[in-house]
């Protein structure tokens, strides 16, 4: 592989020389700027061999560097040849700073502006101008040189029943059109794949884990919409399903559509963070004034209606059966001293999810982490040379989820294998206490996730401990498992939590080279019934119902209220899951009864 990558770098450098470029930046992102990319858009992998979900490469005439965040430090060194690339931290040493330090004044830096948001483009442009460097919009050398590139996905999209969506596409488009008019614009550029899927009540299978059909769209202030998509993806019955007002065009006509937009619309609403720079720069070139606001679909999509919440509850009910079957199987393996490795465990859990005909995919790559591997909070056993075996007298962390036709799940459980060390039990209990505290929170309207984040960390903090990831992210409705705009994190987020929003609650603790702990349920924001409240108050309702491992609980650290919460939660797990267990699965039933017995 190293020899192949070396040849590719030579080809990129030849391209750069032909175009009079001194550097080229290749991010992991593609033109749709989503979390996941199809195989045909894995440009960073093609040029470097790195398969992580975030990163960038900077290629100069005589050197190259790869930049990844803390999740991928180990993975990058395993996958990328250190003779070809130097390694850098994406956050602590931004790739643009490195490029500026290694280039002479008046050097030309090439980028494919389709793979950067407008906000990112402006940041790059501001720094390059300050450093007396020239930023050049360029063709992507990978696209020119990747001769055995996989074909773009062309799977036919599916129509999401309006009963599951809770609103018709026509109703949604009119709702967003009202926002467009209020912003004094005549149209909106909508390019986020999950926003388009939500707006049209469609789903797709163009990329792993995220059920979308990659495309672009322009929504007008009257609710009509131009949809730019590969015609092969258009499902039968689309016109009837969306209620008219949606005109489809081949995706390659999008540039022409942007030019035409400039003739009829003076102001276009566009999100500088979610739509690529190329599309917005073309609008500016055609005389359009950008109204720079967040994607108008974000908040309505995040605030699930009653039908969407009904689907979410059903997805989690079914998902709980798969998880309970898995945990019962894992305990049986431990009792027989026949523990699987990380890959076998992940495959077993996937198989159990797929027993449900309505589970069409995983919602992300399963994190199946044995012992010390769990200390890497985004560990992926698929990137290890050999998946690690699960070990007795340790702990195992499994973070997984499913895409059901009516909801998306995400759950983490940390499991005892044999008798784990006392320190693991103590810190597991601190993590669980924080998760319970956040679950039980009540808060006034207008509260943000940032304001609640400390509730989940408080017991760790009292012991001088913490974790480096966010406490919670939004979750979509048979859409992205990582959905904005709300989140629960120390990082500033000014989006108030509103009824219908689904968020994860996943505090953790990670001791390098020893173990990792995470407890995760999904919660939904709902109104709190507080008769004496002087203003509207909200609270969380739990969606996820799977036992927590009592063997990891240091019960002396639990208060009476926390014990009561755990016991009541486990009784609810028993009520929801027991009726789903077939009569011939007595081993699963017996495991569940024991796992949910009172502390």
Alpha helix (H) residue ranges in 192-251: 193-200, 238-242
DSSP characters over 46-76: HHH----SS-EEEEESS-EEEEE-GGGHHHH
- Strands of the sheet with 411-417, listed across from one edge: 367-370, 394-400, 411-417
Whether the predicted pLDDT of 125 surpasses 90? yes
Cβ(280)–Cβ(478) below 8 Å: no
Q: How many CB atoms lie within 10 A of CB 367?
A: 22
β-pair partners for 433: none
β-pair partners for 192: none
Q: Can 2-145 and 158-301 be said to share one CATH topology? A: yes
- What sign does the CA torsion over 571, 572, 574, 575 have? positive
* 409 or 91, which is more confident: 409
H or E segment and range at residue 571: helix 560-577
First vs last C-alpha separation in the chain: 54
In CATH, 303-595 is 3.90.230.10: yes
Q: Could you tell me the residue ranges of all domains in the chain?
A: 2-145, 158-301, 303-595
Alpha helix (H) residue ranges in 49-192: 73-79, 95-101, 118-130, 141-145, 162-165, 169-182
Q: Identify the CA nearest to 486 among candidates 454, 450, 460, 514.
A: 450
Residues sharing a CB contact under 8 Å with residue 320, sequence separation 6 or more, in sequence order: 544, 545, 546, 573, 576, 577, 580
Per-residue pLDDT reduced to its tens digit, 348-370: 999 999 999 999 999 999 999 99
Share the mean pLDDT of the chain: 96
pLDDT at 470: 94
State how far the Cα of 133 lies from the Cα of 135, in Å rounded to an integer: 7
Per-residue pLDDT reduced to its tens digit, 61-71: 999 999 998 77
- Tokens representing 501? 């929003």
Token match 């029943």: residue? 161
Per-residue pLDDT reduced to its tens digit, 227-238: 999 999 999 999
State how far the Cα of 101 lies from the Cα of 111, in Å rounded to an integer: 18
Over residues 122-140, mean pLDDT: 96
Question: How far is residue 413 CA from its own chain's centroid?
Answer: 19
pLDDT grade, residue 558 (50/70/90)? very high
2-145 fold = Creatine Amidinohydrolase; Chain A, domain 1 (3.40.350)
pLDDT at 598: 98
Over residues 149-154, mean pLDDT: 96
Q: Identify the CA nearest to 316 among candidates 399, 438, 400, 410.
A: 410
State how far the Cα of 118 lies from the Cα of 274, in Å rounded to an integer: 8
State how far the Cα of 477 lies from the Cα of 472, in Å rounded to an integer: 16
Whether the predicted pLDDT of 78 surpasses 90? no
State how far the Cα of 576 lies from the Cα of 320, in Å rounded to an integer: 8
State how far the Cα of 270 lies from the Cα of 276, in Å rounded to an integer: 10
Cβ(359)–Cβ(318) below 8 Å: yes
pLDDT at 464: 98
State how far the Cα of 113 lies from the Cα of 280, in Å rounded to an integer: 10
Cβ(346)–Cβ(335) below 8 Å: no
- What sign does the CA torsion over 109, 112, 113, 115 have? negative
Strands 515-518 and 187-190: unpaired
158-301 fold = Creatine Amidinohydrolase; Chain A, domain 1 (3.40.350)
Token match 């079914």: residue? 318
pLDDT at 241: 97
Token match 């045909």: residue? 40
pLDDT above 90 coverage of the chain, percent: 93
How far is residue 78 from each of residues 82, 83, 346, 543, measured CA to CA in Å? 9, 13, 22, 38
State how far the Cα of 278 lies from the Cα of 291, in Å rounded to an integer: 16
pLDDT at 583: 96
pTM over 0.85: yes
Per-residue pLDDT reduced to its tens digit, 452-507: 999 999 999 999 999 999 999 999 999 999 999 999 999 999 999 999 999 999 99
Cβ(50)–Cβ(209) below 8 Å: no
pLDDT at 76: 87
- What sign does the CA torsion over 126, 127, 133, 136 have? negative
Q: Up-side HSE of residue 357: CA atoms within 13 Å toward CB?
A: 0
Whether the predicted pLDDT of 52 surpasses 90? no
Residues sharing a CB contact under 8 Å with residue 541, sequence separation 6 or more, in sequence order: 523, 524, 526
Q: Identify the CA nearest to 290 among candidates 119, 485, 115, 176.
A: 119
Q: How many CB atoms lie within 10 A of CB 61?
A: 13
Over residues 128-139, mean pLDDT: 96
Cβ(489)–Cβ(481) below 8 Å: no
Burial 549-586 (b: 16+ CB within 10 A, else e): bbbbbbeeebeeebeebbeebbeebbebbeeebeeebe
Cβ(58)–Cβ(98) below 8 Å: yes
State how far the Cα of 150 lies from the Cα of 138, in Å rounded to an integer: 22
Whether the predicted pLDDT of 14 surpasses 90? yes
* 383 or 583, which is more confident: 583
Per-residue pLDDT reduced to its tens digit, 183-237: 999 999 999 999 999 999 999 999 999 999 999 999 999 999 999 999 999 999 9
How far is residue 107 from each of residues 21, 60, 99, 103, measured CA to CA in Å? 8, 11, 10, 6
């Amino acid at each position: 592989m190293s020899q192949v990558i070396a040849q590719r770098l030579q080809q990129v450098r030849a391209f750069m020389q032909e175009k009079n470029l001194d550097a080229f930046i290749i991010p992991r992102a593609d033109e749709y700027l989503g979390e996941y990319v199809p195989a045909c858009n894995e440009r960073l992998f093609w040029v470097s061999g790195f398969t992580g979900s975030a990163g960038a490469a900077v290629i100069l005439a005589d050197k190259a560097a790869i930049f990844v965040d803390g999740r991928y430090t180990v993975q990058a060194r395993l996958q990328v040849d250190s003779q070809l690339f130097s390694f850098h931290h994406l956050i602590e040493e931004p790739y643009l700073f490195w490029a500026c330090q290694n280039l002479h004044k008046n050097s030309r830096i090439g980028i494919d502006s389709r793979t950067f948001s407008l906000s990112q483009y402006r940041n790059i442009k501001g720094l390059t101008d300050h450093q007396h460097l020239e930023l050049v919009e360029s063709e992507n050398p990978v696209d020119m040189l990747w001769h055995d590139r996989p074909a773009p996905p062309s799977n036919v999209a599916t129509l999401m029943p309006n009963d599951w969506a809770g609103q018709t596409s026509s109703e949604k488009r009119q709702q967003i059109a009202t926002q467009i008019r209020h912003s004094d614009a005549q149209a909106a550029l909508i390019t986020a794949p999950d926003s388009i899927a939500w707006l049209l009540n469609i789903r797709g299978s163009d990329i792993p884990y995220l059920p979308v059909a990659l495309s672009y769209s322009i929504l007008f202030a009257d609710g009509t919409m131009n949809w730019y998509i590969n015609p092969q993806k258009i499902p039968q019955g689309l016109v009837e399903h969306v209620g008219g007002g949606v005109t489809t065009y081949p995706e390659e006509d999008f540039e022409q559509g942007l030019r035409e937009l400039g003739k009829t619309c003076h102001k276009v609403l566009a999100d500088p963070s979610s739509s690529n720079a190329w599309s917005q720069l073309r609008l500016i070139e055609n005389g359009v004034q950008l109204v720079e606001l967040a994607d108008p679909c974000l908040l309505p999509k995040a605030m699930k209606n009653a039908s969407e919440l009904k689907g979410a509850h059903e997805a989690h009910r079914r998902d709980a059966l798969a998880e309970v079957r898995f945990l019962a199987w894992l305990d049986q393996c431990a009792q027989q001293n026949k523990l699987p490795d990380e890959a076998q465990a992940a495959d077993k859990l996937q198989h159990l999810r797929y027993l449900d005909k309505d589970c069409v995919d995983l919602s992300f790559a399963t994190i199946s982490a044995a012992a010390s591997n769990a200390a890497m909070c985004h560990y992926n056993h698929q990137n290890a040379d050999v998946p690690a075996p699960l070990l007795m007298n340790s702990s195992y962390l499994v973070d997984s989820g499913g895409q059901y036709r009516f909801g998306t799940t995400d759950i983490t459980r940390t499991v005892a294998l044999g008798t784990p060390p006392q320190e693991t039990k103590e810190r597991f209990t601190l993590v669980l206490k924080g998760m319970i505290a956040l679950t039980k929170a009540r808060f006034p309207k207008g509260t943000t996730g940032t304001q609640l984040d400390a509730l989940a960390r408080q017991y760790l903090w009292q012991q001088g401990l913490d974790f480096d990831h966010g406490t919670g992210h939004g979750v979509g409705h048979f859409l992205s498992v990582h959905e904005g705009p709300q989140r629960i994190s120390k990082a500033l987020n000014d989006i108030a939590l509103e009824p219908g929003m689904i968020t994860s609650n996943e505090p953790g603790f990670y001791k390098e080279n020893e173990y990792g702990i995470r407890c995760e349920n999904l919660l939904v924001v709902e109104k709190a019934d507080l008769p004496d409240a002087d203003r509207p108050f909200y609270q969380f309702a739990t969606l996820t119902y799977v036992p927590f491992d009592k063997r990891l609980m240091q019960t002396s650290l639990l208060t009476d209220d926390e014990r009561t919460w755990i016991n009541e939660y486990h009784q609810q797990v028993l009520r929801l899951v027991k009726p789903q267990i077939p009569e011939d699965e007595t081993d699963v039933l017996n495991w569940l009864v024991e796992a949910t017995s009172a502390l």
